[in-house]
Amino acid sequence: MTTQFDNVSVVKKANLYFDGKCVSHAVLFADGTKKTIGVIFPSSLTFNTGAPEIMELNAGKCRIRLKGETEWKSYEGGQSFNVPGNSSFDIETVETLDYVCHFVAA
């Protein structure tokens, strides 16, 4: 995992979801790709996806359950998980989660 992104544009306006429990900013790359960087405060939420995503965790702890699965899986800073496009996942954050969401071309 890289520690910084060089030569990018950042959208100043924050994306606020779930009454401020998730806050992110869009990072735009010269090649047209996009990522979001943000935090999810301790909570239980459900996210819907359009494009496939890789959720890279910088710090914090969570449990996730992908749509259609019954088992929860635990993740923490330094790990990542994949989410299919046109799907959803449930997430329970045990402590504030610092993340990068990589949008993958379908």
Q: What is the mean pLDDT of residues 27-53?
A: 96
The closest of 74, 87, 82 to 48, measured between CA atoms, is: 87
Domain map (residue ranges) of the chain: 9-103
Third-level CATH fold of 9-103: Jelly Rolls (2.60.120)
Confidence at residue 2, expressed as pLDDT on a 0 to 100 scale: 77
Q: The tokens of 47 are what?
A: 């996210």
Q: What confidence tens digit (pLDDT) does each residue in 18-38 have?
A: 999 999 999 999 999 999 999
Given a cut of 80, whether residue 105 has pLDDT beyond it is no
Q: Exposure pattern of 55-90 as b/e (b: 16+ CB <10 Å)?
A: bbbeebbbebbbeeeeeeeebebeeebebbeeeebe
Confidence at residue 106, expressed as pLDDT on a 0 to 100 scale: 61
Confidence at 70, pLDDT banded by 50, 70, 90: very high
Q: The tokens of 83 are what?
A: 């989410």
